[in-house]
Amino acid sequence: MIALGIETSCDDTAASIIEENGKILSNVLSSQEVFHKDFGGIVPEIASRKHSELIGYTIVEALKLSGKTMSSVDLISVTKGPGLVGSLLIGIEAAKALSFALHKPLIGVNHLEGHIYSLFLDCSPLSRVSDPFPLLVLIVSGGHTELVLMRSHLTYQVIGETRDDAAGEAVDKFARFLGFGYPGGPIVEKLGSNGNSNAYKFPGLSFKDSSPYEFSFSGLKTAGVYFIEKNPDAVRENIQDVTASFENALINILVERTLKAAHDFNVRGVGVVGGVSANERLRKTLNAKSDLPVYFPAKILSTDNASMIAFAGLMHFKRGEKDDLMLDAHSRLGL
Ligand code: AMP
Ligand code: MG
């Protein structure tokens, strides 16, 4: 089987062609970063307009690079939520049009489930583990920070999430207050890569025992903004140490909670997905502190992409599920 994946939940217009075993034949991403970065975040109206301009080219390019034609595609998978409704609708309508015109089955995919399935694509080490379950997955992105327990394929138990901001949101705000553009994570990572991560102290979590699998990042975010306001000299002269220290505090929260849950639920391994999982300090710290195997997607598959959507759709389709032309966008959608 050959699947086409379409992803337009946020600011990236993406299309991909994969084979049934998760082998990626093409993975095309038309980034809208330049259109949003001066605003310090994503402007929904701009995002949907750019999606509608780019979606056709992106799908055609994905087909071209894969060497396949639309007639050889057996399934169309598209992100149905969560995300920006105006953005989701562009991908969904494109997918429906192709499905209707070419009589191809259609399936709507939960974006978070897509991120999880980035771990199972053919290029990921986890795809070669014969029985990875129970598996703990940390989803850590611009809008989500949650711990998910998987006892088998396509089953999810959310055991903890953030009470307030997502980890990505906190680092994006910190970067914005430093005067850098969006997205903040890669900028902070680059600035802090040679900095001393213990130079400045940023707060961890205060509710250690009451909710051991929950996260909170609003305290850290506020502390970061406060630090920038109160310490202009440090920001000017020591930006490497400031960014390294902030990033280190954020990562310590993620790592401590994840390893506690992994231990308590007696899992076989830990997976980390979503935009923040591209972070090298997070990868190194978790690998160093975990006595269980830790799995990350290839960095290019950590951030939003359509290969993961194509694969999650295939998993559902092989179980006999599919959608019809009533498929709709859902801005809020849990696992
Ligand atoms: P997503 O919502 O999955 O597309 O992820 C986007 C989020 O990931 C944004 O908050 C980014 O700042 C963050 N992000 C992307 N790359 C990195 C990185 N290398 N380090 C930390 N955060 C990152
Ligand atoms: Mg995402």
Is 124 within a domain?
A: no
Task: Verify that 146 and 102 share a domain, yes or no.
Answer: no
Ligand 1 neighbours by CB, cut-off 6 Å: 141-143, 168, 171-172, 183-186, 189, 274-276, 278-279, 303-304
CATH number, residue 41: 3.30.420.40
On whether both 104 and 221 belong to a single domain, the answer is: no
| Residue 182 pLDDT exceeds 80 | yes
Inter-CA distances, 20 with 4, 89, 147, 302, Å:
11, 26, 28, 21
Band (330; pLDDT cuts 50, 70, 90) = very high
Q: Does 326 map to a domain?
A: no
DSSP character at residue 162: B
Question: What pLDDT, on the 0 to 100 scale, is given for residue 210?
Answer: 77
Query: Do 220 and 263 fall into the same domain?
Result: yes
- Count CB neighbours of 163 within 10 A: 14
Q: Are residues 165 and 281 in the same domain?
A: yes
Q: Is a pLDDT exceeding 80 seen at residue 49?
A: yes
Q: Measured in angstroms, how far is the CA atom of residue 43 from the centroid of ligand 1?
A: 17
Same domain, 284 and 135: yes
Task: Output the residue whose Cα is nearest ligand 1's atom 12.
Answer: 185
**44 cis-preceded (ω within 30 degrees of 0):** no
- Per-residue pLDDT, 39: 83
Interval between CA 142 and ligand 2 midpoint (Å): 7
Q: Is the pTM of this model over 0.85?
A: yes
Q: Do 112 and 169 share a structural domain?
A: no
pLDDT confidence band for 33 (50 / 70 / 90): confident
Atom nearest to 140 CA in ligand 1: 3
In this structure, the number of other CB atoms found within 10 A of the CB of residue 311 comes to 31
How many structural domains comprise the chain? 2
Model confidence over 36-45: pLDDT tens digits? 888 878 899 9
Q: Do the domain assignments include residue 45?
A: yes
**Does residue 172 sit in the same domain as residue 237?**
yes
What are the tens digits of pLDDT across the range 275-291?
A: 999 999 999 999 999 99
**Does 151 share its domain with 279?**
yes
Question: Could you give the angle at the alpha carbon of 274 between the alpha carbons of 65 and 240, nearest 5°?
Answer: 105
- Tell me if 126 is assigned to some domain: no
pLDDT of residue 10: 93
Tell me what pLDDT residue 176 has: 93
What is the structure's pLDDT at 270?
98
Q: Residue 109 belongs to what domain range?
A: 2-117+302-318
In a 3-state reduction of DSSP, which class is residue 328?
Answer: coil
Output the CA 109–ligand 2 centroid distance in Å: 12
What is the model's pLDDT at position 40?
A: 74
Distance from C-alpha of 280 to C-alpha of 259, rounded to nearest angstrom: 18
pLDDT tens across 241-279, in order?
999 999 999 999 999 999 999 999 999 999 999 999 999
- Shared domain for 34 and 50, answered yes or no, is yes
For β-strands 135-140 and 269-273, DSSP reports them as parallel
pLDDT in tens, 68-108: 999 999 999 999 999 999 999 999 999 999 999 999 999 99
The whole-angstrom separation of Cα 145 and Cα 10 is: 17
Residue 162 and residue 203 share a domain = yes
- 265: helix, coil or strand? coil
The verdict on 253 and 309 lying in the same domain is: no
Q: Do both 166 and 253 map to the same domain?
A: yes
Let me know if residue 334 belongs to a domain.
no
